[in-house]
Structure 1
Amino acid sequence: MNRAFLHLAAAALLTLPLLPAHAAEREPYGIGLEGFAYPYPVSLLPLVNDGEQVRMAYMDVAPAQPNGRTVVLLHGRNFPASYWAPVIKTLNDSGYRVVVPDQIGFGKSSKPAGELHFDTLARNTIALLDHLQIAKFDIVAHSMGGMLGVRITRAYPERVPRLLLIAPIGLEDYRLYVPPTPTEKIIENEDKLTADGYRKQLEVNYSLKLPPDQVTPFIESRFNIKGAADYPRWLRAFVSSGQMIYREPVVHEIPLIAQPTLFIMGADDHNAPGRPNAPEALRPKMGQNADLAVALAAKMPNAHAEVIPNTGHLVFLEARQKFDELMLSFLAK
């Protein structure tokens, strides 16, 4: 092969378009979502849960012009705390300090070897706020975070002036519909799930109205950790969170909440954890979430439910303007 040909070949290679980053094989994220970007700096608080040393990740975002109040955002089961980015900005712009933890077992926080419990997560959250010297805080909680928000509000009523529940799960007792399922069986099923299958699962279970590119980070934050050496530890913690939802209902506590409470529901949100494992005749009765929220609010001394039409489970991302209006109006009262 002559020298002129080699020069031409080299020149041709230099003019080829670069492949996009996602076309190359990426390093897997760590099970603490190392490698997955969050919108604000993340700090870690050392804790001890059931004798195990763990670290709780959180964002603490200060506004440019503080109004002297703090909002704590509580995430759902299938979402990293990063998905709160637009809500953080809205609250910051209105003067609120915003504290956004990843609960132990989720996101950038430790994945414990022991089982997860709402009482433990509640104590962890209070420990974080004590560490930050925040005595009172409003709670804005989504999905599974709504169940935790209920538990915190009931356990520490003097700390929580207001509770805003966004498409919360736990508005019914899933044990009335779904038989108990062994943890090992759930682990086996979850391990078989593919990224495409998970996307379809989110689209169906959550009645998603978001464009596919906005759903992709949720897929990546779960499936790009499968190559991590300690992935089995993450998987067991994830399944433990599902068992926590099943075994530790909060619906019976909700009518006892005296603080001002607002439910913001998507009219199309029929998410019901465990529905595929329920007897077929019972499945249609599960997940009537907007109706359940309206009925529960009517039993509470100071509660109201707003139902946004043509909206699914991710209310604050799907109907941002309407959600922001409702949230800011409620917090300002």
Structure 2
Amino acid sequence: MIKLARIGLLGLSTLGLAAGALAQAPKPGTSPAYGPQLEGFDYPHSIQRHAFSSQGQQLEMAYMDVAPQGQANGRTVVLLHGKNFCGATWQDTIAALSQAGYRVVAPDQVGFCASSKPASYQFSFHQLAANTAGLLDALKIQRATVIGHSMGGMLATRFALMHPERTEKLVMVNPIGLEDYQAEGVPYATLDSAYEGELKTRYETLRGYQQKFYYDSQWKPEYDRWVHMLAGLYAGPGKEIVSRNAAQTGDMIFTQPVVHEFGNIRVPTTLIIGQTDRSAPGANRATKEIAARLGNYPELGRKTAQAIPGATLIEFQELGHSPQVEAPARFNGALLKDLAG
């Protein structure tokens, strides 16, 4: 039985921490340049680093570990970012969860943001899930609620499938991968061609894509901070390795679907779906007919909720790919209510 909630325009204030984020964002038209591990970008909380060995290399996972600010409830939430996002993008949700008594761990995955950018690495959701489990081991966290957004939803699913005993609850926020893009007819892009495409990434290309597919062709100034965050990686001295890792993780998304395993999930699961989202990686390579049917999140969310045993579906009627950014107070209110339930 699917439990369904629709969240409309009326409700909680959307202020959140948006004013703070806006104050820190570079002005439109400027071009910040950050280091290959996002040196120079201000995270909302102190960054710690988990050093470990993987595939014969010494690597680091950057992460924020935020203690409860309110009365501690003994529960931990792990927040997993998307491909075009970082742990920092969760700043409003981190604040809301911490104030509600949760310990919050928000890592940057290897190949992303403030973490290591390996020159040679076999990226897989299994590997990233293993890395995440290793971080939790180091922090002595046995069980946690795992919340994944966008690509992080695919990773959170893989983590829950690999470690059901450690997953108190699975929450997916507008996850990509609710459909098998390759099976739907999207042509494959070689790593070389994907790399060449990534090298062309600029603030303008990132904003254009996000405005069209993430925010229903709308834009608010507070979104700029997160676009500049990512654009700064491509503008900095690590441009080549950042682009290489981005191409590799894009290939991971395309070739490692999780949609076929939703029926195997055996942990309590909630899907939070902004209904105006139209994200579909690789749709730009597909024919117009194929591209037109991809990224139908209202349909995909309901289909996925039916596939996952006992899933709860929360729909935000007027929000898109990043409801935690677009309307943080509304999103956080619904999330906290779901976690409490």
Q: TM-score, normalised by structure 2?
A: 0.87
5+ residue gaps, structure 2: 1-25
Letter in 2 for 1:139: V
| Alignment check: 8 A CA contact 2:33 2:232 kept | yes
In 2, Cα distance between equivalents of 1:281 and 1:130: 46
In 2, Cα distance between equivalents of 1:27 and 1:198: 14
In 2, Cα distance between equivalents of 1:309 and 1:300: 22
In 1, Cα distance between equivalents of 2:330 and 2:27: 34
Question: Would you say 1:154 and 2:199 are equivalent positions?
Answer: no
Letter in 2 for 1:289: Y
5+ residue gaps, structure 1: 1-20
In the TM superposition, residue 199 of structure 1 has moved relative to its aligned partner by: 0.9
Could you say what secondary structure the match of 1:253 adopts?
Answer: helix
Question: Would you say 1:310 and 2:294 are equivalent positions?
Answer: no
Question: Would you say 1:29 and 2:34 are equivalent positions?
Answer: yes
- Segment of structure 1 superposing worse, 229-238 or 201-210: 201-210
Letter in 2 for 1:155: M
Q: Give the structure 2 partner of residue 238 of structure 1.
A: 246
Q: Give the structure 2 partner of residue 128 of structure 1.
A: 135
Question: Would you say 1:284 and 2:301 are equivalent positions?
Answer: no
Change (3 A) 1:82 1:211: same
For the pair shown, the structure with the greater C-alpha radius of gyration is 1
Q: 1:45 aligns with which of 29, 44, 50?
A: 50
Question: Would you say 1:85 and 2:91 are equivalent positions?
Answer: yes
In 2, Cα distance between equivalents of 1:219 and 1:332: 32
In 2, Cα distance between equivalents of 1:66 and 1:255: 34
Q: 1:76 aligns with which of 78, 82, 89?
A: 82
Q: 1:55 aligns with which of 42, 45, 60?
A: 60
Letter in 1 for 2:154: M
In 2, Cα distance between equivalents of 1:226 and 1:155: 33
In 2, Cα distance between equivalents of 1:324 and 1:136: 21
Q: Which structure carries more relative contact order (alpha carbon 8 Å, separation 6+)?
A: 2
In the TM superposition, residue 24 of structure 1 has moved relative to its aligned partner by: 12
In 2, Cα distance between equivalents of 1:23 and 1:238: 24
In the TM superposition, residue 314 of structure 1 has moved relative to its aligned partner by: 0.8
Q: Determine what percentage of the aligned residue pairs are the same residue.
A: 37
| Alignment check: 8 A CA contact 1:209 1:318 kept | no
| Alignment check: 8 A CA contact 2:323 2:331 kept | yes
In 2, Cα distance between equivalents of 1:237 and 1:228: 15
Change (3 A) 1:208 1:63: farther
Q: Give the structure 1 partner of residue 126 of structure 2.
A: 119
In 2, Cα distance between equivalents of 1:23 and 1:73: 28
- Segment of structure 1 superposing worse, 319-328 or 31-40: 319-328
Q: Give the structure 2 partner of residue 164 of structure 1.
A: 171
Q: TM-score, normalised by structure 1?
A: 0.89
| Alignment check: 8 A CA contact 2:202 2:235 kept | no
Cα-to-partner distance string for 1:12-56 (whole Å, 9 max, x where unaligned) = xxxxxxxxx869988731010000000001000112221111100
- Segment of structure 1 superposing worse, 263-272 or 208-217: 208-217
| Alignment check: 8 A CA contact 1:268 1:313 kept | yes
Question: Would you say 1:215 and 2:220 are equivalent positions?
Answer: no
Q: Give the structure 2 partner of residue 66 of structure 1.
A: 72
| Alignment check: 8 A CA contact 2:211 2:219 kept | no
Q: Give the structure 2 partner of residue 249 of structure 1.
A: 257
Q: How many residues align?
A: 313
In 2, Cα distance between equivalents of 1:208 and 1:97: 33
In the TM superposition, residue 134 of structure 1 has moved relative to its aligned partner by: 0.5
In 1, Cα distance between equivalents of 2:226 and 2:271: 24
| RMSD of equivalent CA atoms | 1.9
Q: Give the structure 2 partner of residue 145 of structure 1.
A: 152
Q: Give the structure 2 partner of residue 196 of structure 1.
A: 204
